[in-house]
Structure 1
Protein backbone atom coordinates (compact mmCIF):
# COMPACT_ATOMS: atom_id res chain seq x y z
CA UNK A 1 0.00 0.00 0.00
CA UNK A 2 1.01 3.55 -0.68
CA UNK A 3 2.57 5.56 2.15
CA UNK A 4 0.57 8.75 2.53
CA UNK A 5 2.00 12.24 2.90
CA UNK A 6 -0.38 14.15 5.16
CA UNK A 7 -0.10 17.87 5.86
CA UNK A 8 -1.29 18.85 9.35
CA UNK A 9 -1.84 22.59 9.56
CA UNK A 10 -2.83 25.31 11.98
CA UNK A 11 -2.41 29.06 11.89
CA UNK A 12 1.18 29.14 13.13
CA UNK A 13 2.14 25.50 12.55
CA UNK A 14 3.00 25.02 16.22
CA UNK A 15 0.30 24.60 18.85
CA UNK A 16 -2.94 23.03 17.70
CA UNK A 17 -1.33 21.17 14.82
CA UNK A 18 0.89 19.39 17.38
CA UNK A 19 -2.21 18.14 19.22
CA UNK A 20 -3.87 17.05 15.98
CA UNK A 21 -0.70 15.35 14.69
CA UNK A 22 -0.64 13.07 17.73
CA UNK A 23 -4.32 12.19 17.33
CA UNK A 24 -3.93 11.47 13.60
CA UNK A 25 -0.78 9.45 14.25
CA UNK A 26 -2.66 7.29 16.78
CA UNK A 27 -5.66 6.99 14.45
CA UNK A 28 -3.52 5.84 11.52
CA UNK A 29 -1.61 3.40 13.72
CA UNK A 30 -4.89 1.85 14.93
CA UNK A 31 -6.02 1.37 11.31
CA UNK A 32 -2.62 0.21 9.95
CA UNK A 33 -2.28 3.21 7.65
CA UNK A 34 1.31 4.10 6.78
CA UNK A 35 1.78 7.88 6.63
CA UNK A 36 4.30 10.69 6.88
CA UNK A 37 2.78 13.53 8.89
CA UNK A 38 4.14 16.96 8.02
CA UNK A 39 3.38 19.85 10.38
CA UNK A 40 2.90 23.18 8.59
CA UNK A 41 1.36 26.65 8.78
CA UNK A 42 -1.91 26.85 6.82
CA UNK A 43 -0.29 29.53 4.63
CA UNK A 44 2.16 26.86 3.36
CA UNK A 45 -0.52 24.35 2.35
CA UNK A 46 -1.12 25.62 -1.17
CA UNK A 47 2.57 25.44 -2.09
CA UNK A 48 3.03 22.00 -0.48
CA UNK A 49 -0.10 20.28 -1.81
CA UNK A 50 1.58 18.86 -4.91
CA UNK A 51 3.75 16.63 -2.73
CA UNK A 52 0.94 15.65 -0.35
CA UNK A 53 -2.07 13.33 -0.38
CA UNK A 54 -4.25 15.01 2.23
CA UNK A 55 -4.53 18.16 4.36
CA UNK A 56 -5.86 18.12 7.91
CA UNK A 57 -6.34 21.59 9.37
CA UNK A 58 -7.43 23.14 12.66
CA UNK A 59 -8.07 26.51 11.06
CA UNK A 60 -10.25 27.97 8.34
CA UNK A 61 -9.18 26.81 4.90
CA UNK A 62 -8.26 29.99 2.98
CA UNK A 63 -8.60 28.41 -0.47
CA UNK A 64 -9.55 25.26 -2.37
CA UNK A 65 -6.99 22.48 -2.62
CA UNK A 66 -6.32 19.72 -5.16
CA UNK A 67 -6.09 17.21 -2.32
CA UNK A 68 -8.74 16.24 0.26
CA UNK A 69 -8.82 18.94 2.94
CA UNK A 70 -10.38 18.02 6.27
CA UNK A 71 -11.23 20.46 9.05
CA UNK A 72 -10.17 18.87 12.33
CA UNK A 73 -11.52 21.26 14.97
CA UNK A 74 -13.34 18.30 16.50
CA UNK A 75 -10.03 17.01 17.86
CA UNK A 76 -9.71 20.24 19.86
CA UNK A 77 -13.34 20.67 20.92
CA UNK A 78 -14.18 17.00 21.44
CA UNK A 79 -17.32 17.48 19.34
CA UNK A 80 -17.91 15.06 16.46
CA UNK A 81 -14.65 13.15 16.96
CA UNK A 82 -16.05 9.81 15.75
CA UNK A 83 -17.36 11.40 12.57
CA UNK A 84 -14.02 13.17 12.05
CA UNK A 85 -12.07 9.94 12.59
CA UNK A 86 -14.25 8.19 10.01
CA UNK A 87 -13.82 11.04 7.52
CA UNK A 88 -10.02 10.90 7.83
CA UNK A 89 -9.84 7.09 7.59
CA UNK A 90 -12.23 6.99 4.61
CA UNK A 91 -10.19 9.62 2.76
CA UNK A 92 -6.92 7.80 3.55
CA UNK A 93 -8.26 4.46 2.31
CA UNK A 94 -9.54 6.01 -0.94
CA UNK A 95 -6.12 7.54 -1.58
CA UNK A 96 -4.35 4.24 -0.88
CA UNK A 97 -6.42 2.31 -3.45
Structure 2
Protein backbone atom coordinates (compact mmCIF):
# COMPACT_ATOMS: atom_id res chain seq x y z
CA UNK A 1 0.00 0.00 0.00
CA UNK A 2 1.33 3.41 -0.99
CA UNK A 3 2.06 5.84 1.80
CA UNK A 4 1.00 9.39 0.95
CA UNK A 5 3.06 12.26 2.32
CA UNK A 6 0.94 15.22 3.36
CA UNK A 7 2.31 18.61 4.32
CA UNK A 8 0.16 20.52 6.83
CA UNK A 9 0.80 24.26 6.93
CA UNK A 10 -0.34 27.23 9.00
CA UNK A 11 1.12 30.57 9.99
CA UNK A 12 3.29 29.25 12.83
CA UNK A 13 3.50 25.54 12.01
CA UNK A 14 2.31 24.66 15.50
CA UNK A 15 -1.16 25.64 16.67
CA UNK A 16 -3.75 25.37 13.93
CA UNK A 17 -1.68 22.91 11.94
CA UNK A 18 -1.93 20.47 14.86
CA UNK A 19 -5.73 20.59 14.69
CA UNK A 20 -5.62 20.10 10.93
CA UNK A 21 -2.96 17.36 11.07
CA UNK A 22 -4.97 15.28 13.54
CA UNK A 23 -8.14 15.59 11.48
CA UNK A 24 -6.38 14.76 8.21
CA UNK A 25 -4.52 11.76 9.65
CA UNK A 26 -7.72 10.29 11.13
CA UNK A 27 -9.73 11.02 7.98
CA UNK A 28 -7.21 9.32 5.74
CA UNK A 29 -6.70 6.28 7.93
CA UNK A 30 -10.47 5.87 8.39
CA UNK A 31 -10.78 5.79 4.60
CA UNK A 32 -8.01 3.27 4.00
CA UNK A 33 -5.14 5.60 3.10
CA UNK A 34 -1.74 5.18 4.70
CA UNK A 35 -0.34 8.65 5.37
CA UNK A 36 2.56 10.45 6.94
CA UNK A 37 1.91 14.08 7.89
CA UNK A 38 4.39 16.82 8.63
CA UNK A 39 3.57 20.26 10.04
CA UNK A 40 5.33 23.41 8.87
CA UNK A 41 5.02 27.18 8.68
CA UNK A 42 3.43 28.41 5.45
CA UNK A 43 6.69 30.20 4.55
CA UNK A 44 8.41 26.78 4.35
CA UNK A 45 5.92 25.26 1.91
CA UNK A 46 7.45 26.51 -1.30
CA UNK A 47 10.84 24.86 -0.72
CA UNK A 48 9.34 21.57 0.59
CA UNK A 49 6.29 21.08 -1.64
CA UNK A 50 7.92 18.85 -4.24
CA UNK A 51 8.61 16.19 -1.59
CA UNK A 52 4.88 15.79 -0.78
CA UNK A 53 1.79 14.38 -2.45
CA UNK A 54 -0.62 16.90 -0.96
CA UNK A 55 -0.58 20.16 0.98
CA UNK A 56 -3.37 20.99 3.43
CA UNK A 57 -3.16 24.55 4.75
CA UNK A 58 -5.08 27.03 6.88
CA UNK A 59 -3.82 29.86 4.67
CA UNK A 60 -3.24 30.25 0.96
CA UNK A 61 -0.42 28.24 -0.60
CA UNK A 62 1.93 30.27 -2.85
CA UNK A 63 0.84 30.23 -6.50
CA UNK A 64 4.25 28.92 -7.57
CA UNK A 65 3.60 25.60 -5.80
CA UNK A 66 2.40 22.87 -8.18
CA UNK A 67 1.72 20.16 -5.58
CA UNK A 68 -2.04 19.66 -5.12
CA UNK A 69 -3.34 21.66 -2.16
CA UNK A 70 -6.51 21.99 -0.13
CA UNK A 71 -7.49 25.12 1.80
CA UNK A 72 -8.63 23.85 5.21
CA UNK A 73 -9.90 26.93 7.05
CA UNK A 74 -13.25 25.11 7.43
CA UNK A 75 -11.62 22.78 9.95
CA UNK A 76 -10.97 25.78 12.16
CA UNK A 77 -14.28 27.59 11.65
CA UNK A 78 -16.38 24.45 11.90
CA UNK A 79 -18.38 25.50 8.84
CA UNK A 80 -18.81 22.54 6.49
CA UNK A 81 -15.59 20.71 7.43
CA UNK A 82 -16.88 17.69 5.53
CA UNK A 83 -16.40 19.65 2.30
CA UNK A 84 -12.67 19.78 3.04
CA UNK A 85 -12.73 16.06 3.90
CA UNK A 86 -14.14 15.31 0.46
CA UNK A 87 -11.55 17.47 -1.30
CA UNK A 88 -8.70 15.69 0.48
CA UNK A 89 -10.08 12.23 -0.25
CA UNK A 90 -10.65 13.16 -3.92
CA UNK A 91 -7.02 14.27 -4.32
CA UNK A 92 -5.74 11.06 -2.75
CA UNK A 93 -8.04 8.92 -4.91
CA UNK A 94 -6.92 10.78 -8.03
CA UNK A 95 -3.26 10.31 -7.10
CA UNK A 96 -3.86 6.58 -6.68
CA UNK A 97 -5.24 6.14 -10.18
TM-score (ref. length: structure 2)? 0.93
Distance in 2 (alpha carbons) for counterparts of 1:62 and 1:8: 14
Please list every run of 5 or more consecutive structure 1 residues that lacks an aligned counterpart in the other structure: none
Using the alignment, how far apart are the partners of 2:36 and 2:13 within structure 1?
16
Provide the rounded CA distance (Å) in 1 between the counterparts of 2:43 and 2:21: 17
Q: Supply the distance in 1 between the matched residues of 2:5 and 2:13 (Cα, whole angstroms).
A: 16
Q: Where does structure 1 differ by over 6 angstroms across 4 or more consecutive aligned residues?
A: none
CA RMSD of the aligned region, Å? 1.1
Task: Tell me the TM-score normalised to structure 1 length.
Answer: 0.93
Query: What is the CA–CA distance in structure 1 between the aligned matches of 2:18 and 2:62, rounded to whole Å?
Result: 20
Q: Does 1:18 align with 2:18?
A: yes
2:63 aligned with 1:95, yes or no? no
In the alignment, the residues of structure 1 paired with residue 11 and residue 52 of structure 2 have an alpha-carbon distance, to the nearest angstrom, of 18
Q: Which runs of 5+ in 2 are unaligned?
A: none
Kindly report which structure 2 residues correspond to 1:1-97, keeping only aligned pairs within 5 A, or say none.
1-97=1-97
